[in-house]
Structure formats: structure tokens, C-alpha cells
């Protein structure tokens, strides 16, 4: 019976992977006129997946296995995870799943146009539909406490708005004075990072850094897309994309290392468990912790650049041959309130998330109307970052997430940073020479440590359980605050 379960899930995974390939294509090579048709194809595949995941036969297999005392620990955990998904899926009808997928696709296409033309009204009616559909989705799934919990649970199981409020309130209090202290004391020259950087050489640097961190190009590749992302069709094929801008070297570096961190995780899950919960990545927050650990904790550290700055100097000699590594490091770590989330420094970044979280809570609890969003958005940017948002393109229209109805996603970005700081604390306890190793350019031991502690466990444990296993306690934002204080010397 367990074998039947495995086969069923692996076939379903094949369809899901095919759909991921279509998504990847949509964002890399698909001609712009292919959008409507692609939306239809993706909707068909998502219906097929839904059918398979909720089929009476699969349900019978799962309920039989639930009571099977002969299953081992991992087998049991797989079955329980699948049962939770089944019960969730069953609450959404096939019609509803298709409606969501189509609305999301239409939303994405409209948002692209609205973003380009700086025209919020073009996107607003569809966003309104997406909010309503998400409220309906939450009601179908069911929740305790806030309606938001039903959607958050999609991305971060076992986490509620109470947990988020607790973490964010703690962080807010600490970050406001920290930002002030850092901006006053951090001496850096931003000018040294400005200039024109040959896109081909930037690409080469990205590939070099990915190889150093242990990304396997035999099971991966990098392509161009408007927004960098990573995607996996199974551990044997995990791809990343980047968007090289001629004048922004740091953006290329951080997006490659960030997406590389995601992809290392996907390459590291066990092929033996392909399609099974044990062979999948954990929550979104844990996933994001893998990318941010590489991007920020490692990739924005002085020891990392002591190892790899010579490559930057070799590729861009006119620009960097007379600039010291310390100055390069300081310039890439300037803390300054800014409009665009994806370009924010690792400290003020969390205000961008807190703002989105507050807006999502208000939307889903019907405390604000879609047409009032630009005003609300701009007032929150003033409140938390002291900025006057110049346009909707630089404001409420900047992110792709709401366009396909992904509500409850943003907080996982901050959770990722907070988890990453906790991992850094833990790995340094095990490797007291952590910094020396990084300075010598040795990064493989980090991948091995993450493999042992995170990659290989798939979804066998809840994120909060895994956090306790690794660090001895639940997520504690104190580690992030300590990390920032230590790094910036404040």
C-alpha cells in the first residue's frame, strides 16, 4: 500500500514539475503574446494536480496508511503531511482552484502593464477580485483567530498572526534606534560602487560565486528574467535566474548568491524521496533563511570578500584595483531608508515587510479598500522610513506578489532573515573557526552543515521543531538584533 502511495505522489510531482517548467519558461523565454494561452495551460495542470491529490483512491490509501502501525518514522511523517494537504485541498473545490489560477494569471498580466505604465487603476479592480477570492479561500480552509492565519499557514505552517505580531513588535522597537545609530556611525563611500559594469563580466562573476558556494551546474543553470527567482523540477534540475543591470554590480552579486542559496537547498533534498514530503523543502520561511544566510550573513561579510574580492578586482581592474576590500565591504553595507524593497539594505528591509504585513492584514480583515491602498502605502512609508513615495510604480505597484493573489507570503521574508541569524549563531558554536574558513574561501562546510541540519530533513518536521533541533530554542529575533549590532558595531 505504501508503494502505491509513493507512485501516486511521484506521478503528481511529475505534473507539478511540468507546470514549474511552464512557469520558468513564462518568465524567461516565452514571447509576450503567449500569456493568455499559457494561463490556460497552467490552469489545466493545476486542475489535474488537484484531481490527483483529492482522488477517492488516494484518500483511501492515505486513511489506510494512517492506521498502519508497521510504517517507519519517515514513512509515517510523509503520510501525515500528505493527509494535512489532502484535508486542505478537499476544502477547495475544483472550480474554485481553477478560478484562483485564472484570476492570478490575469492579475499578473494586468500588474505587469500597470507597473510599466505607473497606473494603479488598471490593476485595482483585479486586485479587488483577488482579495475577495483569498478571503473566500481562507473561509473555505477554516482558521482560528485571524482570517490571515489560513493564508499564512500555506507558507508557514504552525505560525499565526500572534507569533508575527510578537516578532515584529520586538524588532520594530529595536530597529528604529539601530537604523539611526548605524546611519550616523557607518563611514562608507557609496560612489565606489557606481559605474558601468560589463554585463558579460557581471555574469561571469555570478557564475564564479555560485560555483564557490557549491551550486552544481550539472543540475542547474542560470538565465535572465525580469525578477530573479529560483525553481526546482526535482533535485536533479534546480535553476536560477538573474537580471543583470549594467550599472548595478551589487544587485547582480546579491541576487545570484541569494537565488543560489535557494537552489543549493533544492539540489540538496533527497532524490530518493522525490515527490514525497521528505523530499521537499520545508516552509517558505526556512527556504528564505537558506537564501538570506548566503546573501547577507555570508555574502555581505568582510571575511567573504577577503576571499573573493580579488576576483572582482580581476574582472573590473580599472574600477577596483585601487580600492581596498574594507571600503568595498563598507559601501555594499550602507544602511539607508529607500523605496524599493528588493533593493533595501538588510536592516531597513524589515520595515518594507512590516508595511506589507500591516496592509495585508487590513485588506483581508476588510479594514481598508483596494482603492485606498496607494494612500495607505504612502503614509506607512512616511511613518516607518520617513520617505515621500514619488509614484505608485515606486510604491504600491512595485511587487509582483499581490498580482497573483499571494497573500501571507511577505512575512516569510523577514522570518528568513531571523532564522538565518539563528543558524549563524548555531553553526559558529560548532565551528569556532567559521570566520577564518570563510576568509580562506572555504564554503563547502557550510553547505554540508546545512545539508545535515536542514536539506536532508525535507518536510519531516515543522519549521518551529526544526528550529529547536538546530538551535535549542524556537525562533528568537534577538539573534537577528545581535547579529546587526555586532556587524555594524552599534
- Binding residues for Co ion, rule: CB under 5 A, are 288, 291
Nearest CB to Co ion, comparing residues 82 and 291: 291
Catalytic residue numbers?
A: 259
Nearest CB to Co ion, comparing residues 291 and 398: 291
Least Å distance between CB 290 and Co ion? 8
Least Å distance between CB 443 and Co ion? 19
Least Å distance between CB 485 and Co ion? 24
Nearest CB to Co ion, comparing residues 266 and 288: 288
Nearest CB to Co ion, comparing residues 202 and 291: 291
Query: Angle of helix 249-268 relative to helix 199-213, nearest 10 degrees?
Result: 30
Least Å distance between CB 420 and Co ion? 11
- Three-state SS sequence of the chain: CHHHHHHHHHHHHHHHHHHHHHHHHHHHCCCHHHHHHHHHHHHHHHHHHHHHHCCHHHHHHHHHHHCCCCCCHHHHHHHHHHHHHHHHHHCCCHHHHHHHHHHHHHHHHHHHHHHHHCCHHHHHHHHHHHHHHHHHHHHHHCCCCCCHHHHHHHHCCCCCHHHHHHHHHHHHHHHHHHHHHHHHHCCCCHHHHCCCCCHHHHHHHHHHHHHHHCCCHHHCCEEECCCCCEEECCCCCEEEEECCCCCCHHHHHHHHHHHHHHHHHHHHCCHHHCCCHHHCCCCHHHHHHHHHHHHHHHCCCHHHHHHHHHHHHHHCHHHHCCCCHHHHHHHHCCCCCCCCHHHCCCCCHHHHHHHHHHHHHHHHCCCCCHHHHHHHHHHHHHHHHCCCCCCCCCCCCCCCHHHHCCCCCCHHHHHHHHHHHHHHHHHHHHCCCHHHHHHCCCCHHHHHHHHHHCHHHCCCCCHHHHHHHHHCCCCCCHHHHHHHHHHHCC
Least Å distance between CB 422 and Co ion? 17
Residue nearest to Co ion (CB): 291
Nearest CB to Co ion, comparing residues 202 and 417: 417
Cβ neighbours, 10 Å, residue 471: 19
C-alpha cell at 102: 485564472
Nearest CB to Co ion, comparing residues 257 and 373: 257
Nearest CB to Co ion, comparing residues 58 and 455: 455
C-alpha cell at 60: 483511501
Least Å distance between CB 156 and Co ion? 14
Least Å distance between CB 248 and Co ion? 18
Nearest CB to Co ion, comparing residues 78 and 291: 291
Least Å distance between CB 348 and Co ion? 18
Amino acid at each position: 500500500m505504501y508503494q502505491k502511495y509513493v507512485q501516486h505522489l511521484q506521478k503528481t510531482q511529475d505534473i507539478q514539475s511540468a507546470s514549474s517548467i511552464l512557469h520558468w519558461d513564462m518568465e524567461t523565454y516565452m514571447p509576450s503574446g503567449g500569456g493568455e494561452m499559457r494561463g490556460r495551460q497552467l490552469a489545466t495542470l493545476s486542475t489535474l494536480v488537484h484531481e490527483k491529490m483529492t482522488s477517492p483512491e488516494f484518500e483511501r490509501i492515505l486513511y489506510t496508511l494512517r492506521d498502519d502501525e508497521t510504517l517507519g518514522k519517515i514513512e509515517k511523517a510523509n503520510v501525515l503531511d500528505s493527509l494535512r494537504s489532502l484535508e486542505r485541498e478537499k476544502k477547495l473545490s475544483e472550480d474554485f482552484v481553477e478560478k484562483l489560477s485564472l484570476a492570478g494569471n490575469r492579475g499578473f498580466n494586468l500588474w505587469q502593464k500597470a507597473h510599466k505604465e505607473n497606473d494603479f487603476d488598471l490593476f485595482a479592480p483585479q486586485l479587488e477580485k483577488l482579495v475577495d477570492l483569498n478571503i473566500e479561500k481562507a473561509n473555505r480552509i477554516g482558521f482560528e483567530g485571524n482570517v490571515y492565519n489560513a493564508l499564512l499557514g500555506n507558507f508557514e505552517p504552525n505560525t499565526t498572526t500572534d507569533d508575527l505580531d510578537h516578532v515584529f513588535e520586538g524588532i520594530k522597537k529595536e530597529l528604529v534606534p539601530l537604523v539611526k545609530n548605524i546611519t550616523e556611525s557607518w563611514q562608507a563611500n557609496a560612489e565606489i560602487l557606481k559605474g558601468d559594469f560589463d554585463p558579460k563580466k557581471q555574469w561571469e562573476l555570478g557564475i564564479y560565486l555560485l560555483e564557490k558556494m557549491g551550486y552544481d551546474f550539472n543540475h542547474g543553470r542560470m538565465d535572465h528574467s525580469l525578477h530573479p527567482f529560483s525553481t526546482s523540477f526535482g533535485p536533479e534540475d534546480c535553476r536560477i535566474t538573474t537580471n543583470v543591470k549594467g550599472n548595478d554590480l551589487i544587485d547582480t552579486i546579491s541576487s545570484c548568491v541569494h537565488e543560489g542559496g535557494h537552489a543549493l537547498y533544492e539540489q540538496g533534498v533527497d532524490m530518493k524521496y522525490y515527490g514525497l514530503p521528505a523530499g521537499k523543502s520545508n516552509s517558505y520561511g526556512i527556504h528564505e533563511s537558506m537564501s538570506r544566510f548566503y546573501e547577507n550573513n555570508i555574502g555581505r561579510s568582510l571575511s567573504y570578500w577577503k576571499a573573493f574580492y580579488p576576483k572582482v578586482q580581476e574582472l573590473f581592474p580599472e574600477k577596483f584595483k585601487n580600492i581596498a576590500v574594507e571600503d568595498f565591504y563598507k559601501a555594499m553595507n550602507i544602511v539607508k531608508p529607500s523605496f524599493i524593497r528588493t533593493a533595501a539594505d538588510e536592516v531597513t528591509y524589515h520595515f518594507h515587510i512590516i508595511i506589507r504585513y500591516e496592509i495585508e492584514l487590513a485588506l483581508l480583515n476588510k479594514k481598508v479598500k483596494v482603492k485606498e491602498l496607494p494612500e495607505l502605502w504612502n503614509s506607512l512609508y512616511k511613518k516607518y522610513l520617513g520617505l515621500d513615495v514619488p509614484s505608485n510604480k515606486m510604491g504600491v505597484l512595485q511587487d509582483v506578489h499581490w498580482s497573483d493573489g499571494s497573500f501571507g507570503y511577505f512575512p516569510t521574508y523577514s522570518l528568513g532573515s531571523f532564522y538565518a541569524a539563528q543558524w549563524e549563531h548555531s553553526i559558529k558554536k560548532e565551528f569556532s573557526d567559521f570566520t577564518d574558513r570563510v576568509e580562506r574561501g572555504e564554503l563547502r562546510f557550510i553547505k554540508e552543515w546545512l545539508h545535515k541540519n536542514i536539506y536532508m530533513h525535507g518536510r519531516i518536521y515543522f519549521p518551529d521543531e526544526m528550529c529547536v533541533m538546530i538551535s535549542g530554542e524556537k525562533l528568537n529575533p534577538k539573534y537577528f538584533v545581535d547579529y546587526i549590532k555586532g556587524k555594524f558595531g552599534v
